[in-house]
């Protein structure tokens, strides 16, 4: 009787609140306009981020990936990223004060990012060009903007590793990125089939991921999505998932061909080889792979324009690569790398400063071009010097080691923490994604993109999770109740 009588009382409160506040909200909007509740919405947003910072990190990631409408971008210093940054900074200060744990400052990855930032700062201050010369030549200044972008990405990494702390958080952030990549590829396919795209025939779209406006980067995002989608099938136990994943992977492969990106075709090969080596395919999975190959072949033959197919198959060191469609791109890239090597030889220690590649090339190149080097390795060498490149390479190596550290635990049958074992697909796909990223870095300028910092952050969090889980298992070990030490 008590429970029955209490039920109406529980349902009466929300109804009364709606009856009171509904008309109040309506009258306020009627008299003062819809913007009257912006402060309230802002306070609710701050409360949500403080209560669940992982959602704020997800929004942070989306702002780096997406091109937001101007109405949502803000103006001046009042932008979504700046507001989130201030909230996270205050929250992190309070968290450190409460827990007295400065672990992230001792993280080798964070220290490497700090060192790279320092090298970029010194190179710009000591070797940067004269601003008056830039104005006289009419070359747009990118140094301060690029430096601000890099620092913002570093801040994202620090906030990520502090507030993404559980397997559920990792899954949410990872699936969000997968959704962005898949959607971007599908929209790129749609655009190019409608007669749009880059240069009128190459798949590329900035509607979802801003960086995907470049066909080579769009190809990379499609390939990353392929690895992630494949490993999702190892996580979801339902066989019907293949009915969704196989056609989606086939569309991602089609997108690579529609980009007409030769580095994309080679990157797709790297991804497939990495998965084959990793998974040691059985007869069943080989049949699925054969089915997928047949679907991809049909899609490519049916939908890929002849010009795109010819360009993507005109690979370097072939006759088509020297004379066919896109041959000029290969020769220009080789020429640009020669200019990059000359710029590096003139400033081997500090480089010319972040964002100053265009002016340095303009002054060095007899054709007075300011085109990008199309290589992350050359760009780091030229703008930050040899120590900057070394720090980037060590950062990528540290990310690889962190992923391998976590992988050893999920492959260990004696590791009995189900929540962490469910991250196997994330670990495997992150490992493949990193290999693809390292490959693409030779042919595209990627190390300012948030995807690099996303992978580094995931590696840090994965290693920390498994380290803490190992310690927890050790201290709960039954042998600790005896007088004999564990492992002796």
pLDDT digits (tens, 9 = 90+) for 40-79: 556 666 777 778 889 889 988 888 887 665 545 545 556 7
For residues 366 and 397, state if they share a domain: yes
What's the start-to-end Cα distance of the chain, in Å? 61
Q: Which residues in 70-205 belong to E strands, given as ranges?
A: 74-75, 78-79
Q: Which residues in 270-355 belong to E strands, given as ranges?
A: none
- Tokens 């080097």 found at: 373
Domain that residue 240 falls in: 168-325
User: What does the angle CA 222 – CA 226 – CA 229 come to, to the nearest 5 degrees?
Assistant: 125
For residues 297 and 411, state if they share a domain: no
Does the residue 38 lie in any domain?
no
In the predicted model, is pLDDT for residue 24 greater than 60? no
Tell me what pLDDT residue 30 has: 53
For residues 200 and 154, state if they share a domain: no
For residues 320 and 172, state if they share a domain: yes
In the predicted model, is pLDDT for residue 182 greater than 90? yes
The dihedrals phi and psi of 158, each to the nearest 5 degrees, come to: -65, -45
In the predicted model, is pLDDT for residue 309 greater than 60? yes
Express each pLDDT in 228-242 by its tens digit. Answer: 999 998 888 887 888
Burial class (CB in 10 A: 0-12, 13-18, 19+), 306: exposed
For residues 185 and 285, state if they share a domain: yes
Does the residue 377 lie in any domain?
yes
For residues 308 and 365, state if they share a domain: no
For residues 306 and 285, state if they share a domain: yes
Please give the mean pLDDT across all residues of the chain. 82
Does the residue 22 lie in any domain?
no
- The residue out of 325, 346, 363 marking a domain boundary is 325
Q: How far lies 472's CA from each of 107, 415, 476, in Å?
A: 21, 12, 6
- The residue out of 288, 303, 325 marking a domain boundary is 325
For residues 138 and 211, state if they share a domain: no
Q: How far is the C-alpha of 134 from the C-alpha of 362, rounded, in Å?
A: 10
For residues 186 and 301, state if they share a domain: yes
For residues 157 and 180, state if they share a domain: no
Calculate mean pLDDT across residues 191-197: 83
Total domains in the fold of the chain: 2
- The residue out of 325, 357, 379 marking a domain boundary is 325
In the predicted model, is pLDDT for residue 414 greater than 60? yes
Highest averaged pLDDT of the listed ranges 30-34, 70-74, 194-198, 267-271:
267-271
Torsion angle of alpha carbons 382, 385, 387, 388, nearest 10°?
A: -50
Q: How far is the C-alpha of 152 from the C-alpha of 113, rounded, in Å?
A: 11
Tokens matching residue 115: 């060192």
Tell me what pLDDT residue 164 has: 93
For residues 192 and 152, state if they share a domain: no
Pick the closest to residue 381 from 419, 342, 411 (CA basis): 342
Tokens matching residue 287: 């049949």
Q: How far lies 80's CA from each of 43, 145, 184, 365, 455, in Å?
A: 14, 17, 22, 39, 22
pTM for this predicted structure: 0.85
Q: How far is the C-alpha of 328 from the C-alpha of 320, rounded, in Å?
A: 11
Cβ neighbours of residue 429 closer than 8 Å, sequence gap 6 or more: 227, 228, 230, 231, 232
Tell me what pLDDT residue 316 has: 67
For residues 263 and 121, state if they share a domain: no
The answer to whether the beta carbons of residues 243 and 292 sit under 8 Å apart is no
Of the candidate ranges 58-67, 109-118, 379-388, the one whose mean pLDDT is the lowest: 58-67
Pick the closest to residue 323 from 335, 334, 332, 331 (CA basis): 331
């Amino acid at each position: 009787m008590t429970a029955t009588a209490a039920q109406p009382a529980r349902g009466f409160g929300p109804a009364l609140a709606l009856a009171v506040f509904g008309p109040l909200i309506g009258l306020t909007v009627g008299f003062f306009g819809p913007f009257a509740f912006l402060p309230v919405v802002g306070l609710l947003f701050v409360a949500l981020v403080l209560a669940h910072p992982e959602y704020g990190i997800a929004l942070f990631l989306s702002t780096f990936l997406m091109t937001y409408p101007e109405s949502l971008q803000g103006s001046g210093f009042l932008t979504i990223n700046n507001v989130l940054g201030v909230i996270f900074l205050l929250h992190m200060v309070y968290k450190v004060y409460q827990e007295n744990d400065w672990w992230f400052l001792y993280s080798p990855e964070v220290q490497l990012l700090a060192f790279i930032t320092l090298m970029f700062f010194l190179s710009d201050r000591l070797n940067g060009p004269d601003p008056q010369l830039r104005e006289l030549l009419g070359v747009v200044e990118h140094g301060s903007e690029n430096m601000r972008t890099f620092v913002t990405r570093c801040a994202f990494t620090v906030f990520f590793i502090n507030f993404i702390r559980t397997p559920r958080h990792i899954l949410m952030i990872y699936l969000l990125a997968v959704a962005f990549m898949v959607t971007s590829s599908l929209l790129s396919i749609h655009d190019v089939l409608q007669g749009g795209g880059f240069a009128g025939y190459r798949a590329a779209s900035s509607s979802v991921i801003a960086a995907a406006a470049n066909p080579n980067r769009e190809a990379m995002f499609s390939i990353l999505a392929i690895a992630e989608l494949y490993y999702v099938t190892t996580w979801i136990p339902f066989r019907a998932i293949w009915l969704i994943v196989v056609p989606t992977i086939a569309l991602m492969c089609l997108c690579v061909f529609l980009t007409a990106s030769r580095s994309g075709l080679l990157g797709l090969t790297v991804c497939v080889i990495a998965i084959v080596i990793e998974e040691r395919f059985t007869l069943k999975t080989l049949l699925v792979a054969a089915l997928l190959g047949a679907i991809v072949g049909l899609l490519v033959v049916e939908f890929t324009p002849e010009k795109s197919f010819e360009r993507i198959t005109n690979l370097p060191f072939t006759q088509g690569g020297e004379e066919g469609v896109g041959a000029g791109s290969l020769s220009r890239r080789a020429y640009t790398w020669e200019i990059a090597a000359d710029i590096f030889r003139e400033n081997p220690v500090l480089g010319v400063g972040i964002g100053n590649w265009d002016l340095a090339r303009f002054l060095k190149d007899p054709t007075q071009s300011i085109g990008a080097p199309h290589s992350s390795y050359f760009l780091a060498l030229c703008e930050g010097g040899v120590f900057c490149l070394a720090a980037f390479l060590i950062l990528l190596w540290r990310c690889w080691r962190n992923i391998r550290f976590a992988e050893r635990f999920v492959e260990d049958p004696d590791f009995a923490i189900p929540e962490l074992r469910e991250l196997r697909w994330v670990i495997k796909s992150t490992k493949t994604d990193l290999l693809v990223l390292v490959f693409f870095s030779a042919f595209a300028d990627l190390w300012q993109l948030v995807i690099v910092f996303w992978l580094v952050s995931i590696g840090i969090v994965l290693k920390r999770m498994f380290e803490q889980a190992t310690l927890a298992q050790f201290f709960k070990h039954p042998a600790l109740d005896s007088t004999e030490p564990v492992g002796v």
